[in-house]
């Protein structure tokens, strides 16, 4: 099989790394890819992940059999619709199904239809009506832009005043442009967050694991939001019983509701969950793997990812054996360029990558790198590396990731040293010897 992966971050490096090990993978391309991906795939640096025409041309030029789409933007823009119209199989939802991530109001409608637990909410396109609702319901509440806002369109409002200001920012000042012309106002839920993943082929959903990530830039989960500074899997709060509930109460009913609407969901369904004593509640859906969650999910996969992806694209997930997972914990520590998520420098040199990758249990995924003419690896983005380690405990996995980071030479980079703190505290309480 000839496979093309779309994207150029750590998630796509993990996808390529796993696909490349399949005996059925005859050739692997990545558009645009990065310096780490170039070690396992042929990169197409001139083909951007959002350049739909160029991706279609590349598929024809290389006789691609299967396209795996990493990020949401090309999905929402209709890449999979165009590929399928051209007779090319793809893993990812149609534009109509990608609205589960692209529109929070749409997602809320589908969840209501499917009877999936989610925060009580109301949708508004008129700021005056939204404000009247806030005055009526009171605070705290969460105000969300309907559309894609680079993870910044969710405003947690402790007071009525903050909620009214949030409505002004989104709807009147249009801080996120058209994404905020429609908003959702919902209950502020309490509990522990986790991310759950399922591969879906339109009718069947297959469990791909749960992870927890750290979105804030600072230790102790403080400071501005980022794309994710680290993650670990499994999520201790998602035991087998909870995974079963997530599949039967959330994933499967959502897949059925999407099929009933005539927009079957095919690809990766990523549920952002709040979990409390009563069970799991959906905060949001994404229509792709998380980054860096993908790195830790795939690090634990025992088996052939390509078989699963091919079955996803062709509606045959019910026929393939369920994936098996290593009993170990995987943890990823993201190394970012100093200044991220604000302004940062590009082009600084990174040394010690080979030594880091040689630490027991460690794989270094590249998120934003390029190789210069002399062969030096240079930082080429905000999030630059995902140092991923397997271990017998969360603590051991993190110690291995840190050991790898300590042999890297990259003075212009930084990372959080407390990834997994919640899980490690839990481990220490229950298994003090670990």
Distance, CA of 57 to CA of 304 (rounded, Å): 28
Verify binding: residue 189, ligand AMP, rule CB under 6 A: yes
Q: Element (H or E) spanning 244, and its range?
A: helix 240-246
For ligand AMP, the binding residue among 284, 307, 412, 418 (CB under 6 A) is 284
Q: Cite the beta strand spans of 24-125 per DSSP E.
A: 27-32, 42-43, 66-69, 89-91, 121-124
* Number of Cβ atoms within 10 Å of the Cβ of 325: 18
How distant, in Å, are the alpha carbons of 48, 192, 391 from that of 328?
35, 22, 6
For ligand GLY, the binding residue among 228, 236, 323, 391 (CB under 6 A) is 228
Distance, CA of 211 to CA of 208 (rounded, Å): 10
Q: Which is nearer to ligand GLY, 147 or 228 (CB)?
A: 228
Verify binding: residue 341, ligand GLY, rule CB under 6 A: no
Verify binding: residue 165, ligand AMP, rule CB under 6 A: no
Cis-peptide, bond into residue 200, ω within 30° of zero: no
Secondary structure of residue 217 in the 3-state scheme: strand
Q: Which is nearer to ligand AMP, 272 or 357 (CB)?
A: 272
* Phi, psi (degrees; rounded to nearest 5) at 298: -75, -25
Residues 113-132 vs ligand AMP: string with x where CB under 6 A?
------x-------------
Q: Binding partner of residue 290 among ligand AMP, ligand GLY, none, CB under 5 to 8 Å per kind?
A: ligand GLY
Verify binding: residue 123, ligand GLY, rule CB under 6 A: no
Q: Element (H or E) spanning 216, and its range?
A: strand 205-218
Q: Binding partner of residue 189 among ligand AMP, ligand GLY, none, CB under 5 to 8 Å per kind?
A: ligand AMP
Q: Which is nearer to ligand AMP, 165 or 189 (CB)?
A: 189
Verify binding: residue 386, ligand GLY, rule CB under 6 A: no
Distance, CA of 422 to CA of 418 (rounded, Å): 9
- 192-221: which residues touch ligand GLY (CB under 6 A)? 213
- Smallest separation, CB 20 to ligand AMP (Å): 31
Residues of the shown chain interacting with ligand AMP in the complex, contacts defined by CB under 6 A? 119, 142, 151, 154, 156, 186-189, 193, 272, 283-284
Task: Give me the residues that bind ligand GLY (CB under 6 A), please.
Answer: 213, 227-228, 286, 290-291, 293
């Amino acid at each position: 099989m000839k496979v093309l992966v779309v994207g150029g971050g750590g998630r796509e490096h993990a996808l390529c790394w796993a696909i490349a090990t399949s005996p059925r993978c005859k050739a692997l391309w990545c558009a645009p890819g990065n310096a780490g991906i170039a070690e396992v795939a042929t990169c197409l640096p001139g083909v951007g992940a959002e350049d739909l025409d160029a991706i279609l041309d590349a598929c024809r030029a290389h006789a691609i059999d299967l396209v795996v789409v990493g990020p949401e933007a090309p999905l929402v823009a209709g890449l999979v619709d165009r590929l399928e119209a051209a007779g090319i199989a793809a893993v990812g939802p149609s534009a109509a199904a990608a609205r589960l991530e692209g529109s929070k109001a749409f997602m809320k409608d589908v969840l209501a239809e499917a009877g999936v637990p989610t925060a009580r909410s109301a949708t508004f396109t008129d700021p005056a009506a939204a404000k009247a609702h806030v005055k009526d319901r009171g605070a705290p509440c969460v105000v969300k832009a309907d559309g894609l806002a680079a993870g910044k369109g969710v405003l947690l409002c402790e007071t009525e005043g903050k909620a009214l200001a949030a409505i002004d920012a989104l709807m009147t000042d249009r801080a996120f442009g058209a994404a905020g012309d429609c908003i959702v106002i919902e209950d502020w839920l309490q509990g522990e967050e986790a991310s759950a993943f399922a591969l879906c082929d339109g009718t069947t959903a297959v469990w791909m694991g749960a992870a927890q990530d750290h979105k804030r830039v600072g230790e102790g989960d403080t400071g501005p939001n980022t794309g994710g500074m680290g993650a670990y899997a499994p999520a201790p709060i998602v035991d087998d019983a909870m995974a079963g509930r997530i599949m039967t109460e959330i994933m499967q009913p959502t897949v059925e509701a999407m099929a009933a609407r005539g927009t079957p969901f095919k690809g990766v369904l990523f549920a952002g969950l709040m979990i409390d004593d009563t069970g799991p509640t959906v905060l949001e859906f994404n229509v792709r793997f998380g980054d860096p969650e993908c790195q830790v999910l795939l690090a634990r996969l025992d088996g052939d990812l390509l078989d699963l992806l091919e079955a996803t694209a062709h509606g045959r997930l019910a026929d393939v054996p369920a994936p098996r997972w290593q009993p170990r914990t995987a943890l990823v520590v993201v190394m970012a360029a100093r200044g991220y998520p604000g302004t940062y420098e590009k082009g600084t040199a990174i040394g010690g990558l080979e030594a880091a990758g040689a630490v027991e249990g460690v794989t270094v995924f590249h998120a934003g790198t390029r190789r210069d003419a002399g062969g030096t690896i240079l930082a080429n983005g905000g999030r630059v590396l995902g140092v991923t380690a397997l271990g017998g405990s969360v603590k051991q996995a993190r110690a291995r990731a840190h050991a790898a980071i300590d042999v890297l030479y990259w003075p212009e980079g930084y990372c959080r040293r407390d990834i997994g703190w919640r899980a490690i505290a839990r481990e220490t309480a229950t298994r003090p010897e670990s």
